[in-house]
Amino acid sequence: MSSIESLNYREIFQNANDAMIVHDGVTGAILETNEAACRLFGHSAKDMCATSIGALSVGDPEIREEIALRYIRQAVEAGGLFNFEWIIRHSSGTPIAIEGNLKRMRGHTRPLVLAISRDISERKLAELRLRERGRYFEELLRNSSDGVALIAADGCVKYMGESLAGIAGFPSRAILGRNVFTLLHPADVPRLFSLLAKARRKMVNSGTVSYRVLHRDGSWRSHEAVFKNLLDDPAFSAVLVNYRDVTERLRHEEQLRERERQLNHYARLSIAGEAAAALAHELNQPLFAAVNFFAGCRRRLEAGAKDSTEIEMALTLAQAELERAGRVIQSVRNFTANHPASRNRHSVSAILNGILSFLRIRAEQDSVTITTHITKDAFVECDEVLIQQVISNLVVNAIEAMTDLPVDARAVSISVEIESGYVRIIVKDSGCGFSSESLEAAGRAFFTTKENGVGLGLSLCRTIVGSHGGKMACEQGESTGGKVSFTLPITL
Ligand code: ADP
């Protein structure tokens, strides 16, 4: 080998981009290092040659001197390239992942091994991050409350996401390959069967569907799903289903509906109490009139009346009065029957007018006058009876707050005002007003300052108003008396 050639090789060796180290093939000692190797390890060539590869490595059970030596000897024996991955320790203490190859150098009496390596810590880090991300998404899918499944044209489960374990208690592999119809509630099978048939005939592309499915604990759970027909897509050849267990939500909704039904029933019964006074008043008149007509007929018959025209007329009038009484009773029965709660669009003035005659009769008993002030009417989405119950409770409270006042000073005003997006119904009285204690406690269940009070009226009102998206407020009236108001969202 000429000196020029040997110089060139040395220069190439020194300036190569990859780190190069020449090892003694028997002892593993470092004989030579290039500049890239010095940069990689953070040591000078002299220092590196004075130490061992084991001392330059992280030193865990797989990355230590003995293993490095084994690799070097294997490279000597194999002759060809020997690939390896290793973790070195930089002079700063930082571990660096490297990969490279070992190759026995030919033409030397003593076996020499050339190690060429490069820093792969960036790549390793990226791989680690990717793996962690993969694990993260895997975890996410496993713990998701949503599930994903692919259903083949014949109903076979082609794919089932891991989250099934959390949703239905089964590992997804237990469901894979099974026919989906064997898992569904028998009552839901025909509907879903025909949906899948429609998907096969390309009559449906996507949509939502609900069904019940067996949980591992033996209960039927309600699912809601969004599906996409990918039967024609060769990548899937299935219907893609994203499902979610909504059993708890449905149960909660049913509880709310039941509560509202009960509330509605109590409200009607409570109004029935108020209505009793009105009923007595309304029935008194027709019954009294009918009795008079019957008495007149009897008198005429007893007097031997020959002409029946008058008697017939009196009987017709008596019948009409009794029919009127019947209608009054019927209307109260309809009102107090346990109707399901129904929310509809009502005008506030119509709601108020519907209860006003009852309230006036109740007010008259205590010589109270009621005035109404509706500056502008508004529509609200509500259960009319419940809102009438609220108004009725507030007015009765107002009437009861004025028992100590002289008769001519007893007045209740009901006003309706509009404020941004809401309508406010205000009941004001000229009574004793709230004490600071009752102002703070009013509306708390069973708080009452009345001898025969129950303390449920205001709390019932607050619940009803809250369930309609409004708020109730108790305040001291501007001059005197109490002021209780509530809001309801306006609907267009
Ligand atoms: P109850 O009427 O059975 O006492 P409520 O819940 O309707 O139950 O009322 C609770 C309390 O709030 C009453 O006992 C009273 O002290 C106070 N309150 C309610 N409305 C008024 C009002 N308009 N003026 C003064 N106090 C009131």
Q: DSSP secondary structure string, 129-197?
A: HHHHHHHHHHHHHHH-SEEEEEE-TTSBEEEE-TTHHHHHSS-HHHHTTSBGGGTB-TTTHHHHHHHHH
Residue 242: strand, helix, or coil: strand
| Global model pTM greater than 0.95 | no
**pLDDT band (50, 70, 90) for residue 7:** low
* 41 touches 90 (CB < 8 A): yes
CA of 442 to the centre of ligand 1 (A): 6
**pLDDT band (50, 70, 90) for residue 32:** very high
Q: What residues contact residue 187 under an 8 Å CB cut-off, 6+ apart?
A: 212
* 273 touches 454 (CB < 8 A): no
Q: Give CA–CA dist 391/350, Å, rounded.
A: 13
CA of 18 to the centre of ligand 1 (A): 89
How buried is 462 (Cβ within 10 angstroms: 0-12 exposed, 13-18 middle, 19+ buried)?
buried
Residue 436 has pLDDT above 90, yes or no: no
Q: State whether the beta carbon of 438 lies less than 6 angstroms from ligand 1.
A: yes
User: What does DSSP say about strands 95-105 and 112-119: parallel, antiparallel, or unpaired?
Assistant: antiparallel
Q: For the chain, what is the radius of gyration of the CA atoms?
A: 45
pLDDT at 337: 57
Q: State whether the beta carbon of 453 lies less than 6 angstroms from ligand 1.
A: yes
CA of 448 to the centre of ligand 1 (A): 6
CA distances, 80 to each of 98, 154, 322, 371 (Å):
20, 56, 117, 107
Note the pLDDT tens digit of each residue in 171-218.
889 999 999 999 999 999 999 999 999 999 999 999 999 999 989 999
Q: State whether the beta carbon of 429 lies less than 6 angstroms from ligand 1.
A: yes
Which residue's CA is the closest to the ligand 1 atom numbered 11?
A: 448
Q: How many CB atoms lie within 10 A of CB 23?
A: 26
* 158 touches 233 (CB < 8 A): no
**pLDDT band (50, 70, 90) for residue 274:** low
Percentage, residues of the chain above pLDDT 70: 90
Q: State whether the beta carbon of 101 lies less than 6 angstroms from ligand 1.
A: no
User: What does DSSP say about strands 369-374 and 411-419: parallel, antiparallel, or unpaired?
Assistant: parallel
pLDDT at 338: 54
Q: Give CA–CA dist 287/347, Å, rounded.
A: 35
Report the nearest atom of ligand 1 relative to the CA of 443. 6
Query: Tokens 């209780």 sit at which residue?
Result: 484
Q: State whether the beta carbon of 444 lies less than 6 angstroms from ligand 1.
A: no
CA of 399 to the centre of ligand 1 (A): 10
Secondary element (H or E) of residue 60: none
Which residue's CA is the closest to the ligand 1 atom numbered 20?
A: 397
How large is the angle between the packed helices 457-467 and 384-400, nearest 10 degrees? 150
Q: State whether the beta carbon of 433 lies less than 6 angstroms from ligand 1.
A: yes
Q: State whether the beta carbon of 50 lies less than 6 angstroms from ligand 1.
A: no
CA of 435 to the centre of ligand 1 (A): 10
- Mutation pick for ligand 1 pocket among 430, 448, 456, 462 (CB with most ligand atoms within 8 Å): 448
Q: State whether the beta carbon of 397 lies less than 6 angstroms from ligand 1.
A: yes
Q: Name the residue among 126, 8, 24, 10 with its Cα closest to residue 69.
A: 24
Q: State whether the beta carbon of 25 lies less than 6 angstroms from ligand 1.
A: no
Q: Give CA–CA dist 399/397, Å, rounded.
A: 5
Note the pLDDT tens digit of each residue in 101-139.
999 988 778 899 999 999 998 888 888 888 888 777 777
Report the nearest atom of ligand 1 relative to the CA of 393. 7
**Cα dihedral value 190, 195, 199, 205, nearest 10:** -170
Which residue's CA is the closest to the ligand 1 atom numbered 8?
A: 455
Q: DSSP secondary structure string, 246-307?
A: -HHHHHHHHHHHHHHHHHHHHHHHHHHHHHHHHHHHHHHHHHHHHHHHHHHHHHHHHTT---
Tokens (6 digits) for 35: 């500049």
Q: Give CA–CA dist 296/316, Å, rounded.
A: 13
pLDDT at 471: 95
User: What does DSSP say about strands 146-151 and 95-105: parallel, antiparallel, or unpaired?
Assistant: unpaired
Q: State whether the beta carbon of 447 lies less than 6 angstroms from ligand 1.
A: yes
**Cα 474 from chain centroid (whole Å):** 32
